[in-house]
Structure 1
Amino acid sequence: MPRTYKELLEIREHDGDLFYRVFLYSDCAPYRNPNEDYIAFGLGGKTQRVNRGNILVLADGMSGGKAGRVAAELVARQLIQGYQELPGTYSIEHALSQSLAASNRSLHWFSRHDQTLEGMAAVFCAVVIRGWECYVCFAGDVRCYLWRRQKLQLVTTDHALKVLSGTIITRAVGFDDSIQAEFFQIDIEENDVILVVSDGCHNYLSMQELRETLLSTDSIAKVGELVNDLARFHGSRDDASIGIIEIVSLPKKSLTFFEDVVMSLPIGRLPAVGAVIDGYCLLEIIHDGYYSVLFRAKDERNGNAERVLKFPKARAQNDENVRRSFAKEDWVSSIVDSPWLARSAHDGRSRSQVYTVSPYYQGYTLAERIKKETVRFSDAIDIIRKISRALYELHRLNIVHRDIKPENIMLLHDGGVILLDYGFARVPGALDPAPTEVPGTLAYMAPELVNGGLGDSRSDVYALGVTFYQIFSGNTAPFGFQGYKSIRKQHPEYPAWVDSVLKKMLEHDPANRYSDTLELLYDIDKHERSFSSGEKALIYGNRISEILILRILVVILVFTILVMQMKAG
């Protein structure tokens, strides 16, 4: 590394948009050669960036002379190379720990077996950025700062003791046969600036001076040079280095990103109940399907919170569409924000194989409710309203569910309703190979899907219509040999508008259906408002009315018999 080294990098996303800028700056002390600081940035290949992200390392050699330089460079290079080359199934923390342990063993061995490198050690700080995640790992007194909305925060703590003669470092790579570093994740936002600074700079600058420097210019390259100049002005005669990452735009949680993740993971053997996968202990099987199995699990890393893990079966090994369905489900559940849509519970930890993580919802499916009991008219309308709103939220994101059915509707114990399973969802614009079979469940599938079409919001309206009908009819199909079967033949007390709404939802031609569930909701609300109180009482209290009428008839009959007996007497 030359006496003064500086480099400005621009890191871009797959679509070419600027993700963040990186500025590396290192200035050798006036009296020292070589520079005992070493700063480097590891930019991996496409798969590495998905699994590992990119890594910045600043290391500061401690033993003086040649050994200090060798220590700093070994730590930086080995940490970056080892981190990037470990399997993608390792978590970021585990990969950093493994790589750091290997680097520590190297330095510790050389310091004991090579007299020219005796006592070699290095302090360091590493920053990893993967997508919208940021991780910091450090040992010693290389500091990391976060600059956000004109506020400066020191996010690391020096592993050092202040004494009369100066500072004693308590942790460093190569000190002992093992290394104890700190590791944590920090939230990042667009326009954040992350600074990694060696003691040749931060020992000579106050927080206020560093803040004023950041306020003085928008250029991270200029910030790096000014920080060095200011440290020299205040008397720094040590090597001075600074690495700066400026977050320009965080990548959106795109389907492409999730597909890259899923495609890079193996479809492992289906685990058994009792197995622990990446910290999730599998408690029981709650659904065993053709392509996948759902387990209820507890998250041992998160207070034993209950989760649902969905694993593909071995038959999906060579089916690219199954992998893509897992990626779609993961992606959709990560971007939706609605009380009626299932959300992802994945916390960002690395996965050892393909699976999805969802919350464990306390309740039962609509299919179970229909099978168990007759659903009251008012409850049915309430369920339809909530699922219609859930579908509208999906359609607003230009996502078509394509597998609406009672099994995918969860009724919560607290009265809530959740729409589940986005595996068959259609995301217009996304690349999907031709499926080997029609997506969805045949009994609920709109005619255009059966005929090979891709489907749109009106296809979901059709499936919701079948579901709507089954709620009222107790799980019977809406069509017979003569076509649509009127629901009023089974429930003559229902208003005529129920049949008109169902018929429109179940039209063979999509052009004649409701264009979206928002239009359906408007129609239901309109009919409900025009619904007379007498009609409501007839439906909502029909059984009570029947009992009341029977009692009145009995009273009339008894009264008639008594009158006839009195006349006969």
Structure 2
Amino acid sequence: MTPSLQARLGYASLTGPRPRNEDFCGAVTPEGAELEAKGILAVVADGVGGHANGREASEYTVRGLLSDYYATPDTWAVNKSLDTVLAALNRWLLSLASRTRESAGMATTLSAVVLRGRRFYLAHVGDSRIYRLRGGRLEQLTTDHVWEHPELNNVLSRAVGLDAHLSVDYADGDLEAGDIFALMSDGVWGQLGERRIGDILKAEKAPQDAAARLAMSAEDGGSQDNCTALVLHVDSLPPDRLRDNITRLRQLPLPPRLHPGQQLDGLSVEAVLHESIATLLYRVCDAQGRLRVLKTLRPEHDDAEAAAALAHEEWLARRVNDAWFPQVIPHPERSHLYYLMSWHEGATLKARLDTDHRFGSGETVELGERILKGLAALHRLSIVHRDIKPDNLHLDQEGRLRILDLGVAASDGERDGQKFEEINNPGTPSYMAPELFGPRPAAADEQTDLYAVGVTLYQLLTRKYPYGEIEPFQTPRFGDPVPPTRFRPDIPDWLEAVLLKAVAREPKARFETAEEFLLALERGARRPLSVPRKSPLLQRDPQLGLKLLAVTSLVLNIFLLFLLLAR
């Protein structure tokens, strides 16, 4: 049986000499797919002493983080999920504190640890602490956020609810079986000190006993604060998820090249839909007579990197549960390396271009709005498509648009620390933004996806590219985009302005988000954009100044030489 991430935890929270306990702690230990995707989350918070509703601040923050973290998309990186939720909780506390005088100043420290796969992730603000005991050595993993004060105890410089801008410390690292994490409020660590904390964690084998002893020892030792401790023992780790996935997939044979009429795992092949340099797409029919799309690798492209990339593509596609995309179909009978997607009758926009369909301005705007709504859904999951083009935009018979092919898509969620070789080139040159070329190309992001949408809409209207067609391995030079009205004089001025902004050479001149691009299309002629049709000469050719200087210098030298010879 494949081992999984297993951890035991225990906690204790004592009021001590204070009139009420303003500390709060909690943890979530999910199972199955949620454990693999989101991990185990443990949190300790200490309501700011001396302020009203300190307990409420700590409890609401811990409960909010424990629930909302698991509601974030699986494709988000752990730190992004934590940061998004904590920022929202910070705004909520500030809003609550502003409503009544009694709630003014309510805030809380927070220290959280996520154990996922073979790594841990920390989020910390305030003066609660996280320690790790590994190999008998105790290490403090967090830094206290305090101001030194000559007359008072340390004053918090950061807390949730203290300031409109919440600054959280994040850290991560590798897990080892046997690691012990101890989260505690300052009432515990301030009284015990590191040596005593380490001794207790080494002596107690059960995490509940360790947490209880930490809290009681601090209280018995004279702590003047609430005493809260949460202890996590890491018992076992899963295998490296990517390598494990590769191993599993390598045990599955690649299907041979299939032909209509052949059977595979109860699926009947009807047609070959597409063949690229590495992949094959078939239309198949399952045992219930439902049409599906089967995606696999070409038989000659049988290697571990390609299998891993196909597995990652399926992982992303499963998480994009949106009507703007085909859906992954589970198939328990799968005994070969492939995955299934929903089938939709219709044609791609490229196929419509090839049949000489003439896209009018109104139709193009409507398509652009649909593309951007789908792309916005993808970007909210922190996924960049990287290959938006008419080939990957499909209209079904009911007119619904879907974005196809996540084969080269990328997300900010970890791939277990290992890079993949791409199955295909990450993008099609004519749709790639200028910054993606050159000796030091930038990484593709949401904005380069929007550039590709602009090129796509430009092509639908004109059958041309704003900077001309770019061949693979070509190093293009970008001047100003050709105004689309040169090819289609009937394009409205406002739409031309939108397209020129979308495909501008400089990223800062383009749309920043899909929502901004969508709004410009929706407003149309009612609120047209103002976009310069030509950029300044020096901006188009940054070396022009040096060229003019060189020419001027040459002319001046020739003139001086002429004067010398004239003597």
Scaled by the length of structure 2, what TM-score is found?
A: 0.46
Please identify the structure whose Cα radius of gyration is greater: 1
Query: Taking structure 1 as the reference length, what is the TM-score of the superposition?
Result: 0.46
Of structures 1 and 2, the one scoring higher in RCO (CA 8 A, sep 6+) is: 2
